[in-house]
Amino acid sequence: MHIAIIGNGISGITTARWIRKLSDHKITVISSETEHFYSRTALMYIYMGHMRYKETKPYEDYFWDKNRIDLVYDHVDNIDFDSKSLSMRKGTAIHYDKLVLALGSATNKFGWPGQDLNRVAGLYSYEDVENMERHTPGLKRAVIVGGGLIGIEMAEMFRSREIPVTLLVRESSYWNNVLPAEESDMISRHIKEHHIDLRLGEELDSIEDDGNGNACAIKMKNSGERMECGYVGLTAGVHPNVKWLKETPLKIERGIVVDNHLQTNIKDVYAIGDCAQLAEPKPGRRNIEAIWYAGRMMGETVAYNICGKAVDYDPGIWFNSAKFLDIEYQVYGDVPGTLHDYLSTLYWEHPDGDKAIRINYHTESGKVAGFNLMGIRFRHEVCEKWIKEGTQLQEVLENLNLANFDPEFYKTYETQIRKSFSEQSGISYQVKSKRILDRVTAFLNR
């Protein structure tokens, strides 16, 4: 059986690796972005000079031949689902028995005048980073449109070259549709402290042409201000990269609709990662989740299903991690930007304003529901176990040391955190004194 995979991001490559672990099927991975798989989350470090492109590739180039995974560096122009054939830009055709669509995302554009000029781009692909590099010499100012994780990454990249950056965010506080108010305020402050010109409550109106097809200035929608700039970053989110398949028999809404086995409405065709839209997402989860972890889990799941071992896709408890400049961010479980009626919350923030812990819990039952962490690391396994087992808030407070996963010799704040949480909740607690590593091991194995 021949399995063709379109897309060599984390979803497609995880699929290929797991199919090879489970079978001897012929595997072909097709991509027109790069010849080899690279870590998309490391793109910013190429521009910042921390890594070279070859160092972002998790596998040596010989890995693919050794594991009998064929790589095709070409673009798929058309899919004939009836004949199970892919038409390639270089003129060849690839026939498949089963097809996996791991097409990723595309940068959002909202019809802004000038959005297709040169020196205007998002930050999603290796080509986007090359585009930034190409236009960096002589660049006097960049304007970034949109917040979230991609916007702050692009701002950090330009600041690493000491290029002035203006960041337009339509919300009143940074990423406040995702982060609770206190954390959003913290990141807003942190951005300004890093000499980024953060314009809250502001949107893009238009991008000006210098007469040669290049961006030279932007106009802001709310203030009407005109600002000269040599580069405009579009980071107001992404959408599934499926526009080119809209006229095919595939069922497409925002993304390619899939069932719990990640099968599309067409036999032997699957969709995973950013481009997949679950017909019946798990409670509390979105039908499209364009994050690295979901893509990896989908890749493993679809490999099992293709190889005849039926497995439902189950993303488990929500989690994510990122960096806001110098502040590491982790979230586990139910931590919405606006607190649900059934939840209560405890929040502690360090006096320096760059570290915080939030614990959400069910008001009636006292069971812990989610963790939000800024500048302090908690163990994934411990937080997940607490949430999955519905651990009582008091037990979590008593065992808070079990979760801390900061490196050795880092300062710890459990005493201050417990005192603050006890005052907020009225819960008393006792702290056991056994060695932390032993307690973690025992806790996870019980």
| Residue 350: strand pairing partners | none
DSSP 407: P
Number of domains composing the chain: 3
Quick check: 429 pLDDT over 90?
no
Amino acid at 116: D
Confidence of residue 324 (pLDDT cuts 50, 70, 90): very high
Q: What mean pLDDT do residues 143-160 have?
A: 96
Q: Are 9 and 100 in the same domain?
A: yes
Average pLDDT, the chain: 94
| Three-state secondary structure call for residue 290 | coil
> How many Å apart are CA 390 and CA 283, to the nearest integer?
16
Q: What mean pLDDT do residues 94-112 have?
A: 97
pLDDT of residue 408: 78
Nearest alpha-carbon partner for 9 in 344, 273, 263: 273
The two tokens of residue 252 are 């497409």
pLDDT of residue 427: 81
Confidence of residue 376 (pLDDT cuts 50, 70, 90): very high
| Three-state secondary structure call for residue 384 | helix
Q: Are 329 and 396 in the same domain?
A: yes
pLDDT of residue 426: 87
Q: Are 323 and 441 in the same domain?
A: yes
Q: Are 128 and 224 in the same domain?
A: yes
Q: Are 144 and 224 in the same domain?
A: yes
Question: What is the span of the domain harbouring residue 298?
Answer: 2-106+239-306
pLDDT of residue 27: 98
Give backbone dihedrals phi and psi of 152, rounded to 5 degrees, phi first.
-70, -30
Quick check: 428 pLDDT over 80?
no
**Nearest-10 Cα torsion for 161, 188, 326, 337:** -130
| Residue 391, in any domain of the structure | yes
pLDDT of residue 444: 65
**Percentage of the chain surpassing pLDDT 90?**
90
| Residue 129, in any domain of the structure | yes
> How many Å apart are CA 253 and CA 274, to the nearest integer?
13
Q: Tell me: the pLDDT tens digits for 47-57?
A: 999 999 999 99
Q: Are 96 and 132 in the same domain?
A: no
Nearest alpha-carbon partner for 307 in 7, 26, 11, 9: 26
Confidence of residue 435 (pLDDT cuts 50, 70, 90): low
Q: Which of 196, 213, 236 corresponds to the end of one domain?
A: 236
> Would you say the C-alpha torsion 43, 293, 103, 247 has a positive or negative sign?
negative
The two tokens of residue 197 are 């010109």
Q: Tell me: the pLDDT tens digits for 377-392?
A: 999 999 999 999 999 9
Quick check: 411 pLDDT over 90?
no
Give backbone dihedrals phi and psi of 258, rounded to 5 degrees, phi first.
-130, 155
Q: Which of 206, 236, 266 corresponds to the end of one domain?
A: 236
Contacting residues for 375 by C-beta, under 8 A, at least 6 apart? 327, 328, 350, 354, 355, 356
Q: Are 99 and 243 in the same domain?
A: yes
pLDDT of residue 200: 97
pLDDT of residue 147: 85
pLDDT of residue 342: 96
| Residue 97, in any domain of the structure | yes
Quick check: 439 pLDDT over 60?
no
The two tokens of residue 419 are 């005192």
Amino acid at 321: S
Q: What mean pLDDT do residues 309-325 have?
A: 95
Q: Are 63 and 30 in the same domain?
A: yes
> How many Å apart are CA 325 and CA 319, to the nearest integer?
20
- Going through 34-92 in order, the beta strands assigned E by DSSP cover 69-73, 76-80, 85-88
Quick check: 351 pLDDT over 90?
yes
Q: Are 436 and 327 in the same domain?
A: yes
Q: Are 261 and 190 in the same domain?
A: no
> How many Å apart are CA 61 and CA 57, to the nearest integer?
9
Q: Tell me: the pLDDT tens digits for 52-83?
A: 999 999 999 999 999 999 999 999 999 999 99
Query: Is there a contact between 132 and 160 (Cβ–Cβ < 8 Å)?
Result: no
> Would you say the C-alpha torsion 302, 127, 205, 176 has a positive or negative sign?
positive
> How many Å apart are CA 240 and CA 88, to the nearest integer?
21
Q: What mean pLDDT do residues 337-362 have?
A: 96
Of all residues in the chain, what percent are helix, strand and coil, respectively (each to 5)?
30, 30, 45
CATH number reported for the structural domain that contains residue 257 in this entry: 3.50.50.60
Quick check: 91 pLDDT over 60?
yes
Q: Tell me: the pLDDT tens digits for 170-229?
A: 999 999 999 999 999 999 999 999 999 999 999 999 999 999 999 999 999 999 999 999
CATH number reported for the structural domain that contains residue 368 in this entry: 3.30.390.30
pLDDT of residue 415: 87
Q: Quick count: other Cβ atoms within 10 Å of Cβ 375?
A: 22
Which segment of 192-201, 210-219, 246-255, 426-435 scores lowest on mean pLDDT?
426-435
Q: Rounded to two decimals, what is the model's pTM?
A: 0.92
